[in-house]
Amino acid sequence: MKKSIPSMLTALLISLSVFFGGDAAAKVYIDVNSPNFRLFPIAICDFNTADAGIVSKSGDLGMALADEIKMYLKLTGFFNPLNKKSFLDDKSINPVIFTNWMMIGADYLVKGTVEQSEQEISNECRLYDVVKGEVLFNKKYTAGRDDLKALAKNIATDILFTLTGEEGDFDTQIAFVAKKGDKGDIYTVGYDGSDLKTVTGHRSIIIAPRWSPNGQFLAFTSFKNDVPAIYIRDLSSGAERKVASFQGINLCGYWSPDGQKLLMTLSKDGNEELYVLEVQNMRLKRLTSNYSIDVSPSWSPDGKKIAFVSNRGGSPQIYTMDADGGNVKRITFEGSYNTTPAWSPRGGRIAFEGLVNHRFQVFTIGEEGDNLSQLTFDAADNESPSWSPSGRQIAYSSRTGSKSKICVMNANGTNVRILREGGGFAMMPMWSPRLK
């Protein structure tokens, strides 16, 4: 499917009509950036339980907790949790017979205890380096009685941080647009694909959800009154305010890293140009002034640069410019149609979608236009890439025929998983900041 080049905005709206039709981390044990990186084998034992006669809603509490931790670590794409059937020694906390774990190929080992009372779940967890035969951490945790998932997230976060020196993305959500009946709305879903929630009730064409850096607000464009307008929704109160409803096109862009400004594309002056809105005082500043169409602006993580799409060179390509609109530079030269840039929170790289053999695929490129890398290759339209807060994973929508699903992959294109699918369309994913 080839999008029309004469007007990118028209093409966008046409496509939409189709759709809506801790301390131990001072030492890093795993270098996930190494070219020789492999999935690290880790053994996660069922936790010894002392349930005080209370039956857990999750069945066996110790097994359920281990399985949750295993699931979260596996989703990172860094670990290979070993099958429990291979365990030779999984009952006792002390002593740990490291040779038993080395025999089955484990590099790391997780053991501990868990207890559930009327009020809370308490846990002691130990992480071992099997090869060195040493304890990497021994920590105690508490969570609400029904917060087993939160407890597992905390433990998985500490394991990941201890071994890699980096936080994970477990306490995040992904907002996306989905069709419900004949119209669409914005939904959110957790990192593991659970906890689906409805955010808006517009039942309209609705596009481009954008999280504020503090996770309190979502900005988006909605046609709920039959004309496009940009709204900001307070996710705590549900209150919405309209911040741009000029004549013509009003398309939402990204928030600035400090949460004070919002990029947008407006055609109020006769041509699609880029603007920045100071959200508190509603002061609007125009950033581009060109005969071409300029759309899809995205901030760099330091707030000094903006990536955007323009057809000023004859076809839609990715450009960067200073935050004040100066020093415009084209960075994509391969392909006839490149769009939807998203700047990595780690800096250095920009994800985007590009047309290859009549299908859109996800790419990344260095912010100076170097080191182009294609990440998806399947027979689908893979679109709207969005980075996780860690910069280690990318969410995107994958569309085939009359269905579209939300997928997640590692930033190098590996470890692809389906986050959300079902009948109809799920599209335009946007990863939240860490919400804890």
Residue 352 lies in a domain: yes
> 403 and 263 in one domain?
yes
Residue 248: give its domain's CATH number.
2.120.10.30
**Range in 45-54, 170-179, 190-199 the model is least confident about:** 45-54
Residue 2 lies in a domain: no
Given this model, what pLDDT does residue 54 score? Answer: 44
Given this model, what pLDDT does residue 402 score? Answer: 81
For 282, the 3-state DSSP assignment is coil
> 121 and 196 in one domain?
no
Given this model, what pLDDT does residue 38 score? Answer: 81
> 175 and 153 in one domain?
no
Domain end: 143, 164, 185, which one?
A: 164
Given this model, what pLDDT does residue 423 score? Answer: 62
When divided into structural domains, the chain yields a total of: 2
For 83, the 3-state DSSP assignment is coil
Residue 185 CA to residue 196 CA, distance in Å, equals 13
pTM of the model: 0.90
Question: Beta strands 40-44 and 79-81: pairing type?
Answer: parallel
Q: In sequence order, which residues have a C-beta less than 8 Å from that of residue 408 and are 6 or more positions away?
A: 174, 393, 394, 395, 396, 416, 417, 419
Summarize pLDDT for 42-54 with one digit per residue, the tens.
999 999 886 444 4
The pair of structure tokens assigned to 21 is: 């039709």
> 293 and 188 in one domain?
yes
Given this model, what pLDDT does residue 146 score? Answer: 87
pLDDT band of 34, cuts 50, 70, 90: low
pLDDT band of 20, cuts 50, 70, 90: very low
> 181 and 221 in one domain?
yes
Mean pLDDT of 311-315: 93
**Range in 283-287, 331-335, 432-436 the model is least confident about:** 432-436
Residue 1 lies in a domain: no
Q: In sequence order, which residues have a C-beta less than 8 Å from that of residue 342 and are 6 or more positions away?
A: 298, 307, 350, 351, 352, 385, 386, 387
> 194 and 152 in one domain?
no
Given this model, what pLDDT does residue 205 score? Answer: 92
Taking 60 as the threshold, does the pLDDT of residue 401 lie above it?
yes
- Mean pLDDT taken over the chain: 89
Taking 80 as the threshold, does the pLDDT of residue 5 lie above it?
no
> 144 and 212 in one domain?
no
Q: What percent of the chain has pLDDT over 90?
A: 78
Q: What percent of the chain has pLDDT over 70?
A: 87
Locus of tokens 């780690």: 346
Mean pLDDT of 334-350: 96
Mean pLDDT of 423-434: 90
Domain end: 130, 149, 164, which one?
A: 164
Mean pLDDT of 119-134: 94
Given this model, what pLDDT does residue 421 score? Answer: 83
Residue 58: give its domain's CATH number.
3.40.50.10070
CA 145 to chain centre: 29
> 111 and 241 in one domain?
no
Domain end: 111, 143, 164, which one?
A: 164
Residue 436 lies in a domain: no
Residue 371 lies in a domain: yes
> 87 and 176 in one domain?
no
> 419 and 315 in one domain?
yes
Residue 3 lies in a domain: no
**Range in 7-11, 93-97, 253-257, 425-429 the model is least confident about:** 7-11
Locus of tokens 């028209």: 10
> 278 and 299 in one domain?
yes
Domain limits for position 207: 8-21+169-431
> 101 and 173 in one domain?
no
Taking 60 as the threshold, does the pLDDT of residue 235 lie above it?
yes
pLDDT band of 228, cuts 50, 70, 90: very high
Question: Beta strands 173-180 and 134-144: pairing type?
Answer: unpaired
